[in-house]
């Protein structure tokens, strides 16, 4: 352990004397102080808070991730090129201690820079909230919802297994089953059944029930979040009557919908049932603790309301504070920086500085494309192959002026599509631990970050994965032959 600490102190001095640490500190401060001045928001205090947290912390996280990766790449490869590492490996110091010392040095610098970023973002957010542009009434109604930690409770799902089986049997009897695995067809039929179950026709009512888990306190403040589409277009007036328990509350909203033939979102954000938050036990059944909500479609334009099965109506319960959620989001970001530093050091151990820098750029590009890669990797394999294999396979029918027809995929095309699918899966498995777990998005939307998730993430990113990379790097350092610098 003494060797690790000595290596950490030496690496710290090298990084502090470099030309990268100070510019990175200034860039982080600029992201948290100068960037908010350019953020206008949507005119609401809630929108300002969300944009502030998303942009300031998002840019700071990107800059610090870039620093961690590139500083790690040069931590070993640059010393190997300057022959400093050759002198170091001749000393009785374990190779793993060399790697761990350099990694811990980067952890100290990352912790300091991230602390500055979090403190600066919180300070500038506090100053903007106190701006004269917002009244005390705005702050009193918005801050309890926007600056807090809310747990989302989704409605209890209805039993639609019989409906799915009926739809599946009808498609099979009519010979209209698509050429897809039955599991995929069942999932699509289930989603369609849920959409129908969450559709409210004019004059109709729908009942949603919520069963809070035992760890949710019954006296916690609760809000309802609505998100639905309408079949009407133009300008209309819609009233949604909510009957929570024995209480009656009416939500009336003016809808200014631009003319379009597509369903348009009419209710978004976090509207409250009342001006002040109500306790969960005020709405719940005293015996079962189940919260029930009846929504009646009283739209005078006779429009049909479509509530999304996933987030159409969500009960949001306060289960923590903004400060605690802010700290947990910061820990998630720190774990990501620690893993990026470990990956950079491993690349610097395996390759020379130019190759390690190129590999880091490729890694950053893959992280930017993570949404596309993740979508392809998490798709059903049979569906992916069925969609990709026929790509570009056409044969001409009849004469040259006839339309082309799709040719059935050849075994070689199916094999290539399958290989591409597993390539996506492997790439996603490699870059998934480097993602930010949507920590900033959840913080900006006041969504609670569980402490158990933070502990699990830090265990992987601060212990298991860095230790694995350190052992691989130590094995490479032991296997390489180091030529000592020539004596002058």
pLDDT digits over 27-71, tens only? 888 888 888 777 776 677 888 888 889 889 998 998 999 889 988
- Residue 257 CA to residue 230 CA, distance in Å, equals 10
| Beta strand pairing call for 313-320 and 221-226 | antiparallel
Residue 401: the pLDDT is 47
- Cα 7 to chain centroid distance, Å, stands at 36
Q: Which residues contact 21 (CB under 8 A, 6 or more apart)?
A: 15, 109
Sheet holding 228-230, edge to edge: 199-200, 305-307, 228-230, 264-267
- Residue 175 CA to residue 177 CA, distance in Å, equals 6
Residue 399: the pLDDT is 45
Written as six digits, the tokens of 74 are 């040069």
Residue 146: the pLDDT is 82
Residue 257: the pLDDT is 27
Residue 286: the pLDDT is 66
Written as six digits, the tokens of 2 are 């003494």
Domain boundaries, the chain: 2-148+322-358+433-479, 152-320
Q: What is the pTM of this model?
A: 0.79
Query: Which burial class, exposed, middle or buried, applies to 208 when counting CB atoms under 10 A from its CB (0-12, 13-18, 19+)?
Result: buried
CATH number of 152-320: 2.60.120
Written as six digits, the tokens of 184 are 């995929």
Residue 443: the pLDDT is 92
Q: Give the residues of the chain that fall short of pLDDT 70.
A: 1, 41-42, 86-87, 89-92, 226-227, 232-288, 299-301, 391-407, 480-488
Residue 89: the pLDDT is 66
- Residue 272 CA to residue 315 CA, distance in Å, equals 10
Buried b (16+ CB within 10 A) or exposed e, 275-308: eebbebbbbbeeeeeebbbebbbebeeebbbbbe
């Amino acid at each position: 352990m003494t060797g690790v600490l000595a290596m950490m102190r030496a690496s710290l001095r090298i990084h502090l004397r470099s030309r990268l640490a100070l510019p990175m500190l200034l860039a982080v401060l600029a992201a948290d102080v100068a960037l908010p001045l350019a953020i206008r928001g949507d005119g609401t205090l809630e929108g300002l808070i969300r944009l502030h947290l998303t942009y300031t912390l998002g840019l700071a996280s990107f800059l610090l991730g870039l620093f961690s990766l590139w500083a790690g790449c040069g931590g070993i490869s640059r010393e190997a090129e300057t022959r400093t590492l050759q002198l170091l490996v001749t000393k009785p110091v374990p190779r793993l201690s060399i790697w761990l010392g350099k990694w811990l040095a980067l952890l100290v610098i990352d912790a300091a820079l991230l602390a500055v970023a979090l403190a600066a973002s919180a300070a500038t957010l506090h100053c903007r909230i106190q701006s004269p542009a917002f009244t005390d009434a705005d702050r009193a109604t918005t801050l309890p919802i926007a600056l807090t930690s809310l747990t989302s409770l989704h409605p209890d799902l209805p039993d639609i297994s019989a409906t799915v089986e009926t739809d599946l049997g009808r498609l099979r009897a009519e010979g209209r089953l698509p050429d897809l695995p039955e599991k995929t067809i069942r999932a699509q039929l289930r989603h369609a059944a849920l959409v129908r179950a969450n559709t409210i026709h004019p004059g109709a009512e729908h009942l949603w029930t919520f069963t809070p888990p035992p760890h949710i306190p019954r006296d916690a403040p609760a809000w309802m979040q609505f998100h639905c589409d309408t079949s009407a277009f133009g300008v209309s007036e819609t009233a949604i009557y909510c009957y929570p328990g024995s209480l009656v509350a009416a939500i009336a909203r003016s809808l200014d919908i631009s003319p379009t033939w597509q369903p348009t979102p009419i209710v978004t954000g976090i509207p409250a049932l009342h001006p002040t938050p109500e306790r969960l036990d005020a709405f719940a059944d005293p015996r079962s603790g189940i919260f029930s909500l009846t929504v009646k479609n009283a739209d005078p334009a006779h429009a049909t309301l479509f509530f999304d099965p996933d987030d159409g109506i969500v009960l949001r319960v306060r289960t923590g504070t903004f400060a605690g959620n802010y700290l947990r989001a910061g820990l998630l970001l720190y774990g990501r920086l620690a893993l990026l530093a470990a990956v950079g050091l491993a690349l610097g151990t395996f390759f020379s500085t130019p190759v390690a820098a190129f590999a880091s750029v490729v890694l950053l590009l893959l992280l930017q494309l993570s949404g596309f890669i993740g979508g392809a990797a998490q798709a059903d394999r049979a569906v992916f192959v069925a969609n990709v294999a026929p790509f570009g396979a056409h044969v001409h029918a009849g004469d040259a002026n006839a339309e082309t027809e799709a040719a059935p995929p050849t075994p070689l095309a199916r094999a290539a599509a399958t290989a591409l699918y597993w390539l996506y899966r492997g790439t996603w498995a490699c870059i998934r631990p480097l993602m930010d777990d949507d920590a900033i998005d959840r913080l900006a939307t006041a969504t609670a970050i569980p402490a158990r998730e933070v502990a699990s993430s830090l265990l992987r990113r601060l212990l298991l994965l860095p230790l694995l990379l350190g052992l691989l790097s130590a094995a490479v350092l032991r296997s390489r032959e180091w030529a000592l610098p020539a004596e002058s």
